[in-house]
Amino acid sequence: MDRTHTRRFPTPIRHDGRDYLTTAQVARLLGVKVATVYAYVSRGRMTSIRIDGIDGSVFAVAEVQALLSGGPRRAPAGVVERIRTQVTLLDDDRLFYRGRDVSELARSESFETIAELLWDSEIGWPTTPADRSMIRSVRSAGGVGARGLDTIRLTVDALGARDRLRHQIEAAAVVDKAAEVISACVDVLGAERSGTLAHRLWPCITDEPPSTRKTLLLNAALILLADHDLAAGTVAARVAASARGSIYAVLGAGLGAFDGPVHGGATTLAYRFLHSALDDPDGAVDTQLYLGNPIPGTGHVVYRRADPRAQTLLEMLSRTPGGDRRVLPAVDRIARHLPDGSFVNSDLALAAMALRFRMRPDAAETVFALARMVGWTAHALEEYGERRLRFRPEGLYTGVRPGAH
């Protein structure tokens, strides 16, 4: 059984044959063919569920009864309705944006062009810097110890608070506001030059002199991380859009889910590990394995054999001159000593880019967040066209029952 699908739904607290029905049982109850049941699922009239240890799909009894009675259908406890998307496809260890191979896009397109592709819209990117008073207020609020991610979150909130028309959710308004937010975030991070977003971002995250090849590498990293289907931040963003939150609310929700050690923060953990491993990668891997700890920046819950984003970024990094020459050999040594079935993922590849060119310790996380804001906007545009508040799973109460005191 494909475990990647079964993990989406919790195993019921009580499954004794009465709370869920097989496809054949449902067909008999409804008086239809099995193929018709599958058709109901494809049309969204029913929700099929996978449970560990049970072959085939099952359906909640309450849902079947509601269909029989013609009453309103509510998703069974714990089930979030399927999210249909045309944005990103993950298929056989390959990544596609609207049907186009992302590894190829990263080598040939600008980040701004990819935003237009994902947003399915032409964008008028800002040509003037963000308001100076806003930049000063955000920097003051963040303080000297603020991470790049903190600065980005504050910028989103500040721009949202200043926008009296922030609740516009028409596509044209949404993409204009999103482009303004992303550009302003780079300004607040310290951009002092014009040009592409990657060109402006480079001096914000490192004192290493820029070059055309280095800027193209950073541009590729932004493209490769722009979207990744329904990661945690994307689901949070879509929930906010489902409640008809503004694009600022959507980006804020995505950033909130992103700000944790198993999502955006994973890049920082990979950076710290790789930094400690530069002079002795074999010893660093051995220590992690001895302690029973996973190697930061390796493996993935979706990819089976390789992360195409990491492969592309590391290949481009190998052809970009300059920086710390210890980094790529260290990554290669780490990859050679990984347990069977593991591989370098995009977190470690981003960390390698950051260390190679002496970027700020949180630069990889900052790049990741800026990139993913494009994906969250694309998913918000889709979600604004869906039924409102469709994410409403039923809670499974496990506390003290009324009258039990």
How many percent of the chain have pLDDT more than 90?
71
* Higher-scoring residue by pLDDT: 120, 66: 120
Extract the tokens encoding 225: 């991380």
In this model, does residue 14 exceed pLDDT 50? no
Could you tell me the pLDDT band of residue 242, with boundaries at 50, 70 and 90?
very high
Please tell me the distance from the alpha carbon of residue 67 to that of residue 83, in angstroms, as a whole number: 21
Instruction: For 149-173, write each residue's pLDDT tens digit.
Output: 999 999 999 999 999 999 999 999 9
Could you tell me the pLDDT band of residue 19, with boundaries at 50, 70 and 90?
confident
Instruction: For 361-382, write each residue's pLDDT tens digit.
Output: 999 999 999 999 999 999 999 9
- Residue 91, beta-bridge partner list: 94
CA geometry: angle at 202 spanning 201 and 208, to 5°? 160
Strand-strand pairing, 94-97 and 20-22: unpaired
In this model, does residue 71 exceed pLDDT 60? no
Instruction: For 130-153, write each residue's pLDDT tens digit.
Output: 999 999 999 999 999 999 999 999
- What was the pLDDT predicted at 8? 39
Half-sphere exposure at residue 140, Cβ-oriented, CA atoms within 13 angstroms: 7
Could you tell me the pLDDT band of residue 385, with boundaries at 50, 70 and 90?
very high
Q: E-assigned strands of 7-162?
A: 20-22, 58-60, 88-91, 94-97, 100-101
Distances (CA, A) of 55 to 21, 51, 214, 339: 12, 8, 51, 31
Run of H or E including 330:
helix 327-336
Could you tell me the pLDDT band of residue 404, with boundaries at 50, 70 and 90?
low
Ordered by where they begin, the domains of the chain are 3-69 (1.10.1660.10), 86-389 (1.10.580.10)
Q: E-assigned strands of 142-234?
A: none
- What was the pLDDT predicted at 39? 84
Instruction: For 79-93, write each residue's pLDDT tens digit.
Output: 455 788 999 999 999
* 49 DSSP 8-state letter: B
**Can you give 353-398 as a three-state secondary structure string?**
HHHHCCECCCHHHHHHHHHHHHHHHHHHHHHCCCCCCCCCCCCCCC
* 50 DSSP 8-state letter: -
Please tell me the distance from the alpha carbon of residue 281 to that of residue 334, in angstroms, as a whole number: 6
Instruction: For 23-67, write each residue's pLDDT tens digit.
Output: 888 888 888 888 888 888 887 788 888 776 677 888 888 788 888
pTM, rounded to two decimals: 0.81
- What was the pLDDT predicted at 81? 58
Contact predicate 364/372, CB 8 Å = no
Instruction: For 188-198, write each residue's pLDDT tens digit.
Output: 999 888 899 99
**Which residue in 49, 201, 27, 182 sits closest to 118, CA to CA?**
182
Residues 6+ apart with CB under 8 A from 239: 253, 391
* Higher-scoring residue by pLDDT: 19, 221: 221
Could you tell me the pLDDT band of residue 18, with boundaries at 50, 70 and 90?
low
* Higher-scoring residue by pLDDT: 6, 174: 174
In this model, does residue 2 exceed pLDDT 90? no
**Which residue in 191, 181, 113, 120 sits closest to 152, CA to CA?**
181
In this model, does residue 128 exceed pLDDT 60? yes
Extract the tokens encoding 133: 């008073």
In this model, does residue 4 exceed pLDDT 70? no
> Which amino acid is located at 124 in the chain?
G
